[in-house]
Amino acid sequence: MSLCFLCVATLGQTGLTGKLKDAKTELPIKGAIIYIPDLNRGVLTDSNGNYALQKIPSGHYFLEITMLGYEKIIESVDIKGVTQQNFALQPSFFNLKNIIVTGVVASTNKRTTPMSIAIRNERELLENTATNVIDAIATLPGVSAITDGQSISKPVIRGLGYNRVLTIVDGVAQIDQSWFDEFGIEADPNAVNKYEVLKGPASLAYGSDAIAGVVNLIPESALPEGQMHDNVLLNYQTNNGLIANMFQLSGTKKGIAFSARIDHTMAHAYQNKADGYVLNSQFSNFNTDATIALQRQWGYSQIRASYFNMATGIVDGTRDSATGGLMHAIYNPNLNGGAVTYVLPTQQEKIAYTPLVINQRIQHTKLVWDNSMAVGEGRIKAIFSYQKNQRQENNDPTIPDISTIYYASNGATYDVKYVSPQFKGFSFSTGTNGVYQSSKSLGTLLLIPDYHFFQIGAFVTANQKIGKWNMSGGLRFDTRSFSGQDHWVDSTNQAPAAPNAQDAIHEFQGFTSKFSGLSYSFGTAYDISKNVYIKANIAGGWRAPNVAECAANGVHDGTVVYEIGDPHLQPETSIESDIAFGITTKDIAFEINLFNNAIQQFIYAKGLTSVLGGDSINNSLSAVGFGAAPVYKYTQGKANLYGGELTINLHPTAIKGLEINTALSIVNGGLKQVADSMKYLPFVPPARITADIKYHLASAEGSIFKNAYIKFGVLNCFAQNNIYRQYAIYSGLNTALTPYEYAASNTGTKGYTLCSAGAGSDIVAKGKTVFSIYLNCTNLFDINYIDYMSRFKYFPVNYTTGRVGVFNMGRNFSVKLLVPLNF
């Protein structure tokens, strides 16, 4: 099972032992977790505060010590033989200064890394409300999401999304069809223990598709030796009737760690005051995963398998002209010999948990083999994955059980690297990684050809600590081979056809493109004083064109435009500079990050004009089923994005338990040397301010309430009028934009302010937690608003009100129960 044959070191008895105590009372602390992320191993302190991590490889590690009610400790330790180290924990509700980052080549301290990083931990996830895996982080500084209802969101980092943001799940890149607007991230939020968002191309661990940054979805850590947990999580939300149930069993015994989870989430259509029930926005997803790990003195080896299955409706925004109500399509065989008509829904259809006839199903199966092996005082990290992705759309009411759009892909990733020991503050890492994907279209409507690609890359990074300076940098080179298959279709129905068949047209020309790119990064973090620091980083990244940009030739059902790709496109390259200044004291944590990102060969879709002037309209038979469609072709130019984030956390010692968090995010993005109508990039989020006040309630002796809190939050989103005005699209099955709809799609969105409130507590009996409860209400005052990042803003006008688009969710109350059964 392991790769321990690669271990060349002579392994003697090694370990880390010590004692934890309260810094104020000097009493021992029982039940604290001492954890080494790079080894995925931890241990609990006993009743006397003692701990012992035994039989672990010699080397340099970051140690994480956590205990609820105390400030987290992050300590750099060198383990050689049996090493002893004691710690004193400061009582605190807050963990502001010390955060370990794992989504890089080797674990590091957030404060000492030059990269800009945002983090959301397990406690914050439990205290907040989301309906999909990306919405859970969409309010982090510098982070937002392109949404397609409540079930699908695509991450955006500093104004860039789609294939410019790489998603890492279970330690490996997610291999799917992320180029599609209406396809989200195939991961369940209940399976994520922590999020790390790396902003900018500063990480050299991943290569292409990380030009904007990385979203790292991290599962739970292995339990300490001798522990077994059985957790049940229940969640209900009022606005959409969401019901979520999760059961997880995990444990570690004699160096064998295991975990198994099964969960199911379903929701009916969400509601708001403007639209009522947003028809066909319901969804359900099922997730299961299991992990088995072997922990030994040479390191660890673990296998993790997961399966994600989601069924979700597709909202098309069609309205009744008399009432303004949203309607759905049905096939009526008795009308004109058979026709598709739109009808108002019944009450049962509004609150049904099963999507209506137009829907999609997404399945993702993954197997990950993760290994870490000692080599002297260094280590080799090797991780491999196999992934199968299936995406199906049923969007023709005349054949409701047939997936007209069906993409199936198989992919594999590998990542092997060596992490050196530390010598006088210097360490280095080197490795190689890559990905292979093969995709076939099994549907009757085609936008892209069958394709496959293979990418391989190699990198080297180095870190040097000199006094108050922490410097890091590195180089990476990648090459990708991309091939699209030759393909003919029947012009009457767009089904696959033989080249010599009647009515056959040559929709996709076979091609092979080769791309290569150089990535680099150099940065430094400097401690001006104990409480003041500054960071600076410059990084270059690259991104190979995706399949749609290279080879699209057909009507994109999600946007109802005719897209044309270009296999001769060049890779995007970027240079991003970042600078940050921070202050951390016992009362405040302050940080300001500024960035500038210049991108060469930026790829975007440009509307074509006809020889007679105006939009070029495709009326060919290859657009069967959609009528006339405006034509867009992928092209390239120069783009520039700049802005920053400001975060402030106040926790005054004079008011014990009070915490005030606020953040400002600003990004501006535009194309250079283009017409004024195209100078702004689409889906660049408007400026946003978030502010949260949280008060931790002290627990009286013998109280059944522990770790209780109350909170209130405000999100203020500014108006966005800097838009790409040529991007006149909307989802739906209508055949053409009316002048009113076209104008609406070329206007910005208004600003809005949302309030939220929440409370929670652990309920204890006889010193043990019986369950934890988390209450949260979003959009507290039931405000009608359309977020600029919502694709529903392109939907047709409601002629009864004059308002365009479909609004976001109204007031939503959520209750979560987490029931831990500890053995």
CATH number of the CATH domain containing 66: 2.60.40.1120
Closest Cα to residue 413, out of 437, 453, 382, 384? 384
Q: Are strands 588-607 and 617-618 parallel, antiparallel or unpaired?
A: unpaired
Question: 479 Cβ partners below 8 Å, 6+ apart?
Answer: 455, 456, 457, 514, 515, 516
**Residue recorded with tokens 């105390």:** 70
Runs of H (alpha helix) within 714-770: 739-744
- In this structure, is residue 734 part of a structural domain? yes
Closest Cα to residue 393, out of 181, 244, 546, 554? 181
Q: Note whether 696 and 725 are within 8 A (CB).
A: no
pTM, to two decimals: 0.90
By residue range, what is the domain housing residue 609? Answer: 217-323+359-437+468-822
What's the confidence (pLDDT) of residue 451?
A: 94
- In this structure, is residue 131 part of a structural domain? no
Runs of H (alpha helix) within 107-179: 122-127
- In this structure, is residue 345 part of a structural domain? no
What's the confidence (pLDDT) of residue 602?
A: 94
Task: Give the containing element (helix H, strand E) for 633.
Answer: strand 629-650
In a 13 Å sphere around the CA of 284, the CA atoms on its Cβ side amount to: 11
Task: Give the containing element (helix H, strand E) for 171.
Answer: none
Q: Given 92, 126, 157, which residue is the final one in a domain?
A: 92
Q: Given 92, 122, 153, which residue is the final one in a domain?
A: 92
Q: Counting Cβ atoms within 10 Å, is residue 633 exposed (0-12), middle (13-18) or buried (19+)?
A: middle
Question: 124 Cβ partners below 8 Å, 6+ apart?
Answer: none
Q: How far is CA 532 from CA 276, 529, 692, in A?
A: 51, 5, 24
Q: Note whether 172 and 218 are within 8 A (CB).
A: no
**What does the pLDDT look like over 548-590, one tens digit per residue?**
899 888 776 655 677 888 999 999 999 999 999 999 988 899 9
- In this structure, is residue 700 part of a structural domain? yes
- In this structure, is residue 640 part of a structural domain? yes
Q: How many angstroms separate the CA atoms of 125 and 108, rounded?
A: 23
Q: How many angstroms separate the CA atoms of 8 and 77, rounded?
A: 22
Closest Cα to residue 516, out of 208, 162, 212? 208
What's the confidence (pLDDT) of residue 12?
A: 53
Say whether both 234 and 87 belong to one domain: no
**Residue recorded with tokens 């096939």:** 331
CATH number at residue 694: 2.40.170.20
What's the confidence (pLDDT) of residue 725?
A: 66
What's the confidence (pLDDT) of residue 491?
A: 74
Q: Note whether 363 and 308 are within 8 A (CB).
A: yes
What's the confidence (pLDDT) of residue 609?
A: 67
**Residue recorded with tokens 């300590």:** 75
Q: What is the domain count for the chain?
A: 2
Q: Given 59, 92, 125, which residue is the final one in a domain?
A: 92
What's the confidence (pLDDT) of residue 280?
A: 94
Q: How many angstroms separate the CA atoms of 708 and 696, rounded?
A: 6
Q: Counting Cβ atoms within 10 Å, is residue 459 exposed (0-12), middle (13-18) or buried (19+)?
A: buried
Q: How many angstroms separate the CA atoms of 114 and 526, rounded?
A: 9
How does 248-276 read in b/e, with b if 16+ C-beta sit within 10 Å? Answer: bbbbbeeeebbbebebbbbbbbbbbebbe
- In this structure, is residue 155 part of a structural domain? no
Q: How many angstroms separate the CA atoms of 457 and 544, rounded?
A: 13
- In this structure, is residue 122 part of a structural domain? no
Closest Cα to residue 259, out of 302, 323, 197? 302
Strands of the sheet with 165-169, listed across from one edge: 116-120, 194-199, 213-218, 165-169, 172-173
- In this structure, is residue 154 part of a structural domain? no
What's the confidence (pLDDT) of residue 263?
A: 95
A 10 A CB-CB count for 594 gives 16
Please identify every stretch of the chain with a pLDDT value under 50, giving residue numbers as ranges: 1-11, 614, 621-627, 727-744
How far the first Cα of the chain sits from its last, in Å, is 28
